Structure 1
Amino acid sequence: MNKIFIKIPFIDNLLKGIGQIMLQENRWTGLLFLIGIFMGSWQGGVATILATSAGTFTAMKLGYEKSEINAGLYGFSAALVGVALSFFFQTTLFIWILIVLGGALASVIQHFFISKKIPVFTFPFILIIWVFIFALHHFTDIPPSEMITAKPVSVNYSEFMTPLNGFGEVIFQGGALSGIIFFIAVFINSPLAALYGFVGALLGAYISFTRGESVEGIHMGLFGFNAVLSAIVFSGIKKIDGLWVLIAVFITVFIDDILIDNDVFSSFGGVLTFPFVAGTCITLLMQKIIHKKFV
């Protein structure tokens, strides 16, 4: 199998880009993510491949840093653009065109922030989807996807499955099996990151529960997926890392709950991973300030 990646490095870059959705530079993690997405819908899987390919190809043609391309840094926001568009809308020809264009645009925006050394994580994906959804809702009559209109399936209300559902919702997957696959995908690259993500999702669910959020939404993972990402960012082997994970998750979940409670961004497709980006950036700023003052 490794011979394929050596002969066709584009496939390796593609899979690493998908793996980077949860900050994992690992082709096997990306492959498992892709399998989990295909289990949700074939449209989502194809959209992920097309958008990630467009983002990676754009980075190559524009001459971006090869090491960054090889690490998948121009694929993860693009991948999320593809999954999101196929999740929110029926995949008409126009949507397929937007999936490719959105993937390419995500790469360009990502490069701008990378070149400025500004950590924005999935913000390019958020920005593109907010603009696309607002425009599509106001200027087209493209119907929502079957995943949006389908009746809610029964939710597993166990404390064990709730954080795993949070893993699934990171990539718009509501099925319990996808969440399990995503957790395993992270675990094979970084067991510590997977476990911190699990605890982060569990903590996020508990905080949201104490704040009176929807029990069904909590167990579906809708109040946990941003916490998963924030916990993974700060996961590490030092004791202080655990404290930073705790701080980042609290800030992220608080932002998430406030935005959802006040119906902010509902016209743009919802909060998406914005609470993760905001919470993580605030925590990184806190780290920087403390480091300057006390180190």
Structure 2
Amino acid sequence: MSLQLRDSFGAVFGRMLLRGIGQIYLLPSAGAGAVLLAAVAWQSWTMAGACLLGALTGTVWGMAAGDAVGSRAGLDGYNGALTGLGVMIVLPADLLAWSLVAPLACLATWGAHAWRRRCSVPPYTAPFVLITWLLMAAATGLDLPRAVATVTVDPGWGGPIQGLLRGVGQVMFLDDPRAGTLCLLGLALGTPWAALSAALSAGLCLLVAGLAGFPTDAALLGLYGFNAVLAAEALRTIRPGAWIWPCLGALLSLGLMRGFQLLELPSLTAPFLLATWGVRQVALRRSTQARTV
């Protein structure tokens, strides 16, 4: 009996952990989370380990804080998972970086938990963004060694296809289009609508960036798509069938991303946050006005 209970708890905890990774793309799906983790491992085992450690830290913190609902849905894992990835793109994977993953993931999870309790607006990835920005500033101020950017993999596919797939994968700092393909498969496993939304929003921003004359190298690296992927997914659920809001959020995130580039500031997922919060408020206000007419 005790062995059965332990196995049951292990299975439940494993699903909670994987849902936390799935929630990076706003999907409370353990299956999606497993494929997304595999996508990170495809590109870098180090990043996969940091992602898993961050999600584990956040999930355990949520359980210890009594946030059973948030932990079961994966809401206590995704900011921690992203923070783990963020540490590894700022610092080299040495003792200092690994020692920072758990405490910073814990801080990100606490921030998201406090935000959800006090604000009606979802925090999304805001805690991860704020903590990673602080880490970047500290690394610069203390003159710490910085992580070396990985060499972009070119599987020989068409440039626009690579740009689209990288746009999906760059949500988790993945610039290998094959890892992006796995991310898209993971989204489809969670719900086919999420995969369709991600592909369309990344493709839309790639097209608009080309027409607007944005730097081609950044476009083909997926840097104009990943914020749009998140914005479209967040806004897709406000009013099913009303695609104007996801499209508007995707395009607004594209403009904001270009603004961050021109200012030479690290954007992370800040364009997604600003675009989604703004469009969400407009959409909800319009919906409220329509019901009162």
TM-score (ref. length: structure 2): 0.91
Residues 201-234 of structure 1, C-alpha deviations (whole Å, 9 max, x = no match): 1111122222221112111111101111111122
2:280 corresponds to 1:284:
yes
Residues 42-90 of structure 1, C-alpha deviations (whole Å, 9 max, x = no match): 11011111111111111111222x1111000011111011112112321
Moved more, 117-126 or 203-212: 203-212
Unmatched tracts of structure 2, length 5 or more: none
Q: 1:47 aligns with which of 40, 46, 50?
A: 50
Task: Quote the Cα distance in structure 1 between the aligned partners of 2:146 and 2:226.
Answer: 26
Task: Quote the Cα distance in structure 2 between the aligned partners of 1:186 and 1:5.
Answer: 27
Task: Quote the Cα distance in structure 1 between the aligned partners of 2:268 and 2:16.
Answer: 25
Aligned partner of 2:25 in structure 1 is 22
Task: Quote the Cα distance in structure 1 between the aligned partners of 2:94 and 2:220.
Answer: 32
Task: Quote the Cα distance in structure 2 between the aligned partners of 1:222 and 1:115.
Answer: 32
Aligned partner of 1:60 in structure 2 is 63
Q: Which amino acid aligns with 1:283?
A: V
Q: Which amino acid aligns with 1:262?
A: L
Aligned partner of 2:117 in structure 1 is 115
Aligned partner of 1:94 in structure 2 is 96
User: How far apart are residue 91 of structure 1 and its match?
Assistant: 1.3
Q: Go from structure 1 to structure 2 and tell me whether the alpha carbon gap of 1:106 and 1:159 turns closer, same or farther (over 3 Å shift).
A: same
Give the match's secondary structure for 1:159: helix
Aligned partner of 1:224 in structure 2 is 225
Task: Quote the Cα distance in structure 2 between the aligned partners of 1:238 and 1:99.
Answer: 37
Give the match's secondary structure for 1:170: helix
TM-score (ref. length: structure 1): 0.90
The answer (yes or no) to whether the contact 1:156–1:219 under 8 Å persists in 2 is no
Q: Go from structure 1 to structure 2 and tell me whether the alpha carbon gap of 1:224 and 1:94 turns closer, same or farther (over 3 Å shift).
A: same
The answer (yes or no) to whether the contact 1:234–1:241 under 8 Å persists in 2 is no
Q: Percent identity?
A: 25
The answer (yes or no) to whether the contact 1:44–1:83 under 8 Å persists in 2 is yes
Unmatched tracts of structure 1, length 5 or more: none
Question: Number of residues paired by the alignment?
Answer: 284
2:84 corresponds to 1:82:
yes
The answer (yes or no) to whether the contact 1:208–1:257 under 8 Å persists in 2 is no
Q: Which amino acid aligns with 1:206?
A: L
